[in-house]
Every structure is written in structure tokens, then in C-alpha cells.
Amino acid sequence: MLLAIFTISYIVTLVMQVFVPYLVRETIVFGVTVPEQNIKHPILGLMKKRYAQIVGISGVVLLVILLVINWIAKPSEITQGILLLSVLYGMLAVSLVLYWLNHQKITKLKKKEQWGINIKQVRAVDLTARSRDEILPWPFYVVPIGVTVFLMIFTVLHYEQIPNNVAVHWGPNGEADAWQEKSYFTAISLPLVMLMMQCMMWGIVDSVKRSAIRLSVNRQEESLEDQLKTRKYMSWHMMLISYALTVLLSVLQLSNIYPSLAEGGNLLPMFIVFLVLVLGSLLFYVWKKRQLRLSYVDNVVSEVMDVDEDRYWKGGLIYMNAQDPSVFVEKRFGVGWTMNLANPRAYIVIVLPFVILLLISIFSL
Amino acid sequence: MIIQIEPQSDVPIYEQVSRQIIEGIARGDMKPGDTLPSVRNLAADLCVNMHTVNKSYHELEAKGILTIRAKSGAIIRSVEERALTSEQLQQIEKNLKPLVAEGMVLGASVDQIELMMKKVFADLQMPVEGV
């Protein structure tokens, strides 16, 4: 079971890693801004192709090695766990090293050939864009919080009924594998975790809403559509995760009060549905991003380009721009969003709930 | 309506914003009663400090072009509301003076400057299509 779940997640991750250069904006290649005027430089296409090939082949080789070892040596559960993780991290390490080499190469090439050096950099903003923003409004993210509060009250009212050992961890087969002695804190620790996660989802969506809608100056209409839809789908994805988590954790919590619920692997289908939903929603987002991606047939002839923000991106991966009021920006290499680490609000919205979450887990596990 | 800011220009960003909003209204891209994005949102989109946008909005309010309301944001005034006062005319004249003077010093004639004014006026009134 563990192996099956792992293999599926591994393949999804691998496919994503392979296609990242073709999913991210074409104007940002391995984390380096390439002016649209140079976008069809032959080296860029070649580098992307090589990256995809090497990551793809080494990823498959690693998976085959894993499956063979697993088949021949039949390792114990702990060894198997270590093996799975090292294969996953091995694959990610290969893609990261390749990314880094390509990032350096393109940075050098850009400097050498002086890309964009005489092109005026402008930032285009559509004043009507905000009124067309389709991010789901906040009540969608507050409803699950209500469920959690209700669940906490319900738990306290049924405290007597809870068995002496409270399940706090569940294995991949859907059965509890770690328990804690019953107390009011351990009894409501699961709803507390839920609450923190729901707040985080809400905080993320709210921060994305306050973050910039960025147009591409030479492709204004298409880039606006991309931005608005990306924001919309992101908010749907977050809502789905928030609701799926709420259902999953509520059932787990109820199974603590009514242990018969969790007997005989009853919960397994729910874990699987949860996993499928989250992965499916992520793939939907990726697929939509691919559809919305601006494609270029040729180098653009224009006197302006978008503002080159390379100096705010450490290694092309970490964003730190103290002048930018946005908390979230879209990743430059990879699908999704990343934080502006120079914005203090980022720490309040994300890091604080995360720390609280960690503290709850440490004290209740 | 789209505005374009040059972060590296010598013209301060708040002024670039004000100028482009005024031009947008003159051109008819923005109509009386239209609401501008909130200060916070526009600052995020422009990747600038909130004070920059705030300064621009307040400048436009002082010029009688916008009304800033606490809840509903910055609204473009109707033509009646922004009826030209003699002070405003004086202000415009004052602002024009250095430009006309520069033209004179460089040898532009009255006719040339008048023609220029008319051209700018006509450009703004012409509907922009396919841009």
C-alpha cells in the first residue's frame, strides 16, 4: 500500500519536474529573466530539452532501482520508508543541481550578450483588473472554521466517552498507529491542528488577493486573463483542500469519540479519496496554467519590456523585495506561489500559524 | 484602462500615475463615476509603497479630479462637479509658463505653439483603437 501510494506520488512529482521549464513563463528561463526580444535564442530551447531528458531518465532509473530492490530484498517497513524518501530526494536533487547549472549558464549568457540592456523597462497595470478579480470571497474559508469550533465543543461535551488513549497519528493503511494519554488537550489537539490549517488557507488566499496582478507589457490582454484565472483557480484549489481536510480530520476526530468508526480499515477509502482529490486539484491547476501560458512564435519586436526583477530573486528561487507590498508572487521555477521574504506580513500570515501548528504537534505527539 | 510606469524614469512614480490617470480621463478611457483601485491594491500592482499611490490620489483630489471617500475609494468626479474655476485656470496657466518659455527661448513662434496645443488637444480627443 505504502509503495503504491509512493509510486503514484513519485511519478506525479517526476512528471512535474520534467515539465517545469515548459510550464513556467517563457520569459523566465531557469529563473533568469529573458527579454521577449531574445526569447527564441536557440540555446534556451536546447537547455530546456536537455534538462527534461536528464531529469526524466534519471528519475525513471531511480524508480526502477527502487522497485527492484524492493522486490528482491523485501526490506522491513522502516528500511522501505528510508529507501522511498532517499529515492524521492535523489530525484529532486538531480533536478535542483541541473537547474542551478542552467541558471548560472543563462545568467552568464545574458550578461555577455547584454540582453535587454537598451530596452526600456515598464510596469503595466490595468486599473479595471481588480474589479474583475474572481478570487473566492472570505466566507468560503470561514465556514470550515465554524465546523471546527463546533467539533471542539462536541468533543468537550463527549469527553467522558473518549477512550483512555487518543489516536494522534494514522498510518498509510488508514489505521491509527500512535496514541496519547487522554487529556483535554490531547482530545482537542486534532481540531486545533485543523483550525490552524484552515486559518492558514484563509490567510494564503487573502494574501494572494492583496498581491499584485502583473501584466506583461507586450501581451497585455492575454497576460491579464492568465493572471485573473490563475488567481481564481488558486482560490478554488485552496478551498478544496480546506474542505477536504475538514472532512477528513472531522471523521478522524469523531472516530476518537466513537472508536467503532475506525474499525477494520473503514477509514482507508477516505484517505485515498482525500489523496486523489488533492492531487487531482493540483493537476487541474497545472493543466490550466499550461493552457493559459503565453506562447511566443518568434522574438518580440518592441521598445519596451517588463521590469527585470532578477536582482530580487536569490538564485532565481527565493524572492526578497522590500519595496514590493505583495506577500505572494508566482514562482519562477515551479508551479505555484512563493512568499516575498522581505515582507514582514509574510511572516505573520504563514510562519506564525506554521509555528503554532508545529508546537501543537510537538506537545500532543 | 492600462497605465504604464517606468520605475527607472526621472519622473517620480506618483507623478507618472497622476499624469496617466488625467490623460485617461481626458481621452475618455475613464468615465465620471468610475472607481479607481484602492490605494493598497494599486500599490501592490505597481510594486510600490502605499504612500506613493496615496500621494498621487491626494494630488488628484486637490486638483478637483477625484473624490476620495472612506469606504468606496477614489471616484472620478463628473464634469459638473469638476466645473473649471478661475483658480484652476490660473494654475494651469502657471504650469504652462515654463514650457512656453522654453519654446520661446528655443525659437518657437506663437503659431507653432498654438498648433502644438491644438494637436495635443485633438490627439486626446481621438478615440484610441487597436492599441
User: Does A302 lie at the interface with B, CB-CB under 8 angstroms?
Assistant: no
The answer to whether the CB of B24 falls within 8 A of the CB of B65 is no
Last residue of a domain, one of A62, A85, A116: A116
Tell me, yes or no, whether A111 and A130 share the same domain: no
CA distance A46 to A30: 12
A147 and A45 part of one domain: no
Are A326 and B44 inside 8 Å of each other by CB? yes
Contact B7 A210 (CB under 8 A): no
Is A260 at the interface with chain B, CB within 8 A? no
pLDDT at A301: 87
Same domain? A246 vs A328: yes
Q: Which of B6, B43, B47 minimises the CB distance to A120?
A: B6
A276, A234: one domain? yes
> What are the backbone angles phi and psi of residue A91, rounded to the nearest 5°?
-65, -45
Residues A94 and A189 grouped into a single domain: no
Residue B130, pLDDT score: 42
Residues A95 and A175 in one domain: no
**How many domains are there within chain A?**
2
Would you mind telling me the total number of residues written for chain A in this entry?
A: 365
Q: Are A208 and A135 in contact (CB under 8 A)?
A: yes
SS3 assignment, position A217? coil
Interface test with B, best of A123, A206, A210, A337 (most B CBs within 10 A): A123
pLDDT digits (tens, 9 = 90+) for B23-57: 999 888 888 989 999 999 999 999 999 999 999 99
Minimum-distance CB partner of A124 among B4, B8, B44? B4
A·B CB contacts under 8 A: 75
Predicted pLDDT of residue B111 = 93
A58, A83, A116 — which closes off a domain? Answer: A116
CA distance B23 to chain A (A): 13
In terms of DSSP H, where are the helices of chain B? Answer: 13-27, 39-46, 50-62, 86-105, 110-125
Domain boundary among A116, A132, A164: A116
pLDDT value at residue B112: 92
Which residue ranges of chain A lie beneath pLDDT 50? none
**A148 phi-psi bin (left φ>0, alpha ψ -120 to 50, beta other):** alpha
Identify whether residues A211 and A352 lie together within a single domain: yes
pLDDT of residue B131: 41
Distance from CA of B50 to the nearest CA of A (A): 8
pLDDT in tens, B65-93: 999 988 778 999 988 887 788 888 998 99
Q: Which has the closest alpha carbon to B4: A317, A299, A123?
A: A123
Residues A176 and A220 placed together within one structural domain of the fold: yes
Q: Which chain B residues are Cβ-neighbours of A217 within 8 angstroms?
A: 4
pLDDT at site B128? 53
Domain that holds residue A14: 1-116
8 Å CB contact of B35 and A125: no
What gap in Å lies between CA B95 and CA B89, rounded to an integer?
10
**Same domain? A152 vs A272:** yes
Measured between CA atoms, the residue of chain A closest to residue B13 is A123
Same domain for A129 and A104? no
Determine whether the interchain pair A323/B48 forms a contact, defined as Cβ–Cβ distance below 8 Å. Answer: yes
Q: Alpha-carbon distance A100 to A315, whole Å?
A: 8
**Do A322 and A296 fall into the same domain?**
yes
Give how far B62 is from chain A: nearest CA, Å: 21
In chain B, residues with a C-beta closer than 8 Å to the C-beta of A125 are 2-5, 42, 45-46
Question: Is residue A108 located within the same domain as residue A129?
Answer: no
